[in-house]
Amino acid sequence: MAYNGGVADEPAIARRKADHLEVAASGRADATHSTLLEHVALVHQALPELALADIDLTTELVGKRLAAPLVITGMTGGTGEAAAVNRDLAVAAQAAGVALGLGSQRAMAEHPDLEATYLVRDVAPDVVLFGNVGAVQALAMGTARVIELGKRIGADAMCIHLNVGQELIQDHGDRDFRGLVGAIGKLVDDSPVPIIVKETGCGLSREAALAIAREGVTTVDTSGAGGTSWVAVEAVRAPDGSDARSLGTELWDWGVPTAVSVVACARAGLDAIASGGLRSGLDVARALALGAKAGGMAAPVLRAQRAGGEPAVRAFLEHAIGAMRSVSLLTGCRRAADLVRAPRHLAAPLAAYLEDLR
């Protein structure tokens, strides 16, 4: 079922979701610090003894097979525009054989008439699909409600997102983050589908990764610092001269860089989706070399969709996947999964940052 527009009295959460899409797509909330992925130099192999056709990009994530190690990470839902975006992304993801995440389903939970903005199974019956609920909302809802939200969209896994930084800047945002570790553990125990813990632009630290692993989580989405800053998104939305605008500007680049978060999560034994500032297939390959299971992209996919709809998203994904295949060949790796063992050089400041993780 398609969503054909707004409701007569558009709820505030739908207006906020529309703002989030506009700000994220515009680039006005991009981080000014980098992901540090540019400091991963993969060593060129002039004699790879491979043909491009030999390269195998298939990977398994949350027990599902992907044609390439790529996830369109969760962005939106809850508005008419979001419905169109989600359906375009779903069609393109299905064609490319990559995974798709949806945006926070809080809007759907609070306003059932917005549910259709998250429904994509009719256009992407085979896509590996991730639902999405905030950890604070999951604690308040209880596991049964979270599980039901996943079932209603046909999710293959549920992302539980952590967004402390964003909430502190958002008007009427959450301020109490107690009990989330236990709530995540209960969801892992009770959910019929895998639980993915997902940050939202500030990254997962070593301490957070270890805490998540102790609760039985096996897959995370790093969403590290260096891409769209959701602290910055809320700062942009805040009124001029407000304390929220001032605090958001001060904390604009807060977080663990994506490259560092990937290593922290991999060392904790987690399957990491490296997201947060990845913009290309080369970025994904660099993240795989650091130990990520897959790469995740949001902003560049959204911008492609806005520029040219589903065909532009499909073209973007094809190019990114082609770049991953080329980098695998250029490093002498028959499989993308072998990039973690490829010769590499880690330049400063990434090397120094990783030294602190030991």
Residues 6+ positions from 39 with CB-CB distance below 8 Å = 259, 346, 347, 348, 349, 350, 351
Q: What is the pLDDT of residue 9?
A: 52
**Is the pLDDT assigned to residue 347 strictly greater than 50?**
yes
Percent of the chain exceeding pLDDT 70 equals 97
Report the C-alpha dihedral over residues 203, 208, 209, 210, rounded to 10 degrees: 160
Q: Which amino acid is at 38?
A: E
User: Average pLDDT for residues 21-25, to the nearest whole number?
Assistant: 87
**Is the pLDDT assigned to residue 176 strictly greater than 70?**
yes
Describe the crossing of helices 230-237 and 243-250 by its angle, rounded to 10 degrees: 150
Domains in the chain with CATH codes:
27-355 (3.20.20.70)
The rounded distance, in Å, linking the Cα atoms of 246 and 234 is: 11
DSSP for residue 43? P
Report DSSP letters for 273-333, one per residue.
EE-SS--SHHHHHHHHHTT-SEEEE-HHHHHHHHHHHHHHHHHHHHHHHHHHHHHHHHTT-
pTM of the model: 0.95
**Is the pLDDT assigned to residue 275 strictly greater than 50?**
yes
**Is the pLDDT assigned to residue 62 strictly greater than 50?**
yes
Q: Are 276 and 327 in contact (CB under 8 A)?
A: no
The rounded distance, in Å, linking the Cα atoms of 99 and 255 is: 25
**Is the pLDDT assigned to residue 358 strictly greater than 90?**
no
Question: What's the whole-number average pLDDT of the chain?
Answer: 94
User: Average pLDDT for residues 59-83, to the nearest whole number?
Assistant: 95
Q: Which amino acid is at 128?
A: V
**Is the pLDDT assigned to residue 8 strictly greater than 70?**
no
CB atoms within 10 A of CB 178: 9
- Burial of 218: CB neighbours in 10 Å, binned 0-12, 13-18, 19+: middle
Residues 6+ positions from 77 with CB-CB distance below 8 Å = 17, 83, 86, 102, 103, 104, 105, 107, 108, 114, 117, 118, 132
How do residues 133-158 score in pLDDT, each as one tens digit? 999 999 999 999 999 999 999 999 99
Residues 6+ positions from 284 with CB-CB distance below 8 Å = 69, 70, 274, 278, 292, 294, 295, 297, 320, 323, 324
**CA distances (Å), origin 57, targets 141, 150, 295, 336:** 38, 28, 12, 5
Helices (H), the chain: 12-26, 80-96, 106-110, 135-141, 143-153, 164-169, 180-190, 206-214, 230-237, 243-250, 258-267, 281-289, 299-330, 350-355
User: Average pLDDT for residues 296-313, to the nearest whole number?
Assistant: 97
Q: What is the pLDDT of residue 10?
A: 62
- 304: tokens are 């492609």
- 102: tokens are 């949806």
